[in-house]
Structure 1
């Protein structure tokens, strides 16, 4: 199928990705068709296959790119000394990173069930990599006597569940500023780990 006049891969490719992310985050993977994504971008459905082999690959790429970017951004953070300041840095980083990407968060954490087994394993490995980074801080704090946690893995999962909910309800024009949300969540998490 011929490319639509005025369509350029460096422009249309990102538009396809943005439309897919927006529609999947809003309606869910199962409810979104390639035809809907094409209509959102303004191209024929067949043109999407110039940018992705299928809808499953598109979902996988959205999730993989988000988690790869997340891991790379965290690994660039210069961490302070001590488990308590490191945990605070993690909490604040997580909130800031995810509030800037609410659609990616919905997809990365709510669409795992729609991944084919091989893709599921790959995304799960990336998620575990991020969870491991948090658990490492918790283990360090537990060893130093800074935290009182019965199970560090369970605590890491509980803290991430708590933090991942923020993009779902936070509004820039809401009653709480980003800074206030960060402070409140840090204080709740600090108490939750017994610091």
Structure 2
């Protein structure tokens, strides 16, 4: 795929959704961090249902840590892998309280040192909470990037590296959101909705579905 075609794809996605953001509900970097930790292998809808009950009562590291492991589980037990996630969240809150003055660090190394936080989660927090031009590659973005040939790679890391390389600076802040939403609602896994896709004529997928 050439630069001109990539630019047109990104321009159309921007024109269609000029101010994209995550579908996770949050009102602070901490709320976003916890929601993203909880969202691993779970839907944003499911996470929002849990955090909409949790955050009005506990939305700081100290408050969630005070709930304790079993107390937190009561709020997130409807989310997949909630036992492991509860342990990670409680330990993350402990570290934030004791090592970071209850402030989410705007630093990749410090974020990735938190339990349950890998590169993808750190990228989401750095991008959405702090405005860094990072690109978090999940299964949706991996699929869309390879299927359209926007940025091809055999691993999520290679796709991320390629996206960082080929996406013009003016689009980097928002491209993560555009691609994840495109993969979630249009370029879906089993049967992409090519007939209603705003970039169908630019996409280089060979097996398009009407």
TM over 0.5: no
Larger relative helix fraction: 1
Structure label with greater radius of gyration:
1
User: Comparing both chains, which one has the higher relative contact order based on Cα–Cα distances under 8 Å and sequence gaps of 6 or more?
Assistant: 1
For normalisation by structure 2, the TM-score amounts to 0.29
